[in-house]
Amino acid sequence: EVQLVESGGGLVQPGGSLRLSCAASGFTFSTYSLNWVRQAPGKGLEWVSYISSSSGTIYYADSVKGRFTISRDNAMNSLYLQMNGLRAEDTAVYYCAREGRIGDGDPTSQKDFWGQGTLVTVSS
Amino acid sequence: SYVLTQPPSVSVAPGKTARITCGGNNIGSKSVHWYQQKPGQAPVLVIYYDSDRPSGIPERFSGSNSGNTATLTISRVEAGDEADYHCQVWDSSSDHVVFGGGTKLTVL
């Protein structure tokens, strides 16, 4: 059974930093690309970042580029999101989502499995 | 950047057909994926590559995509279908994954 479990969320002051993790199990982690997607309270889904299976291709939403860094450790079956310079508008539930197609390349396929999310609150 | 437009809400009586649209410039040339999200839960994939259904998703869920509009159709709507529905594409021009604003489906 595919499982994605996010952790690392919490309350942080504006300008602060946080590192999110996503622990994966139930599939060959190193062969799948992954995404971070967030959802602000009462709002729709917003894609944050993508990393290919080999880490060779990385993309960011304009709203987080230069502040957030996505990475992965295929030996540890884990995905990460380092978030710096946090702003109130970054407050959201952050989900990791698996790309539905095996292999490297662009995130053209569906996001077939999602974690339950971790809440990040940016407030003083 | 590429924009996907969904109606904020759609209402339908039980047993009827619900159609949720997702508008975008020449969206028919892109692959559209649809997700269902119930309150307090993570999104669940219901349609991928315009019209394919993942295993476990009822045949009542179908999708189409042409021109400037993609459509998620839910036949014989049940109370349990009440949820938010989100469409999603990959925009190669901007290297961005794009989601629509989401549509709240209410079963009357």
Contacts of A57 in chain B (CB under 8 A): none
In a 3-state reduction of DSSP, which class is residue B7? coil
The predicted pLDDT at position A103 comes to 83
pLDDT > 70: percent of chain B: 100
The predicted pLDDT at position A105 comes to 84
Burial code (b: 16+ CB inside 10 Å, e: under 16) for A89-124 equals ebbbbbbbbbbbbeeeeebbbbbbbbbebbebebee
**Residue B51's CB: how many other CB atoms inside 10 A?**
17
**Do the beta carbons of residue A80 and residue A71 sit within 8 Å?**
yes
Question: What confidence tens digit (pLDDT) does each residue in A83-123 have?
Answer: 999 999 999 999 999 999 998 888 899 999 999 999 999 99
Question: What does the alpha-carbon distance between residue B84 and residue A8 come to, in Å, rounded to a whole number?
Answer: 26
| Interchain contact, A114 vs B43, CB within 8 Å | yes
Question: What confidence tens digit (pLDDT) does each residue in A39-53 have?
Answer: 999 999 999 999 999
User: What average pLDDT does range B33-40 have in this prediction?
Assistant: 98
Backbone angles phi, psi at B56, to 5 degrees: 95, -10
C-alpha distance from B20 to closest chain A C-alpha (Å): 15
Question: What does the alpha-carbon distance between residue B58 and residue B47 come to, in Å, rounded to a whole number?
Answer: 10
The predicted pLDDT at position A73 comes to 98
Question: What confidence tens digit (pLDDT) does each residue in B40-88 have?
Answer: 999 999 999 999 999 999 999 999 999 999 999 999 999 999 999 999 9
The residue whose two tokens read 């109606």 is: B7
Contacts of B99 in chain A (CB under 8 A): 37, 44-47
Chain B residue closest in CA terms to A48 = B97
Chain A residue closest in CA terms to B6 = A44
* CA dihedral over A19, B93, B68, B28, signed as positive or negative: negative
The predicted pLDDT at position A124 comes to 96
Contacts of B98 in chain A (CB under 8 A): 47
The predicted pLDDT at position B29 comes to 97
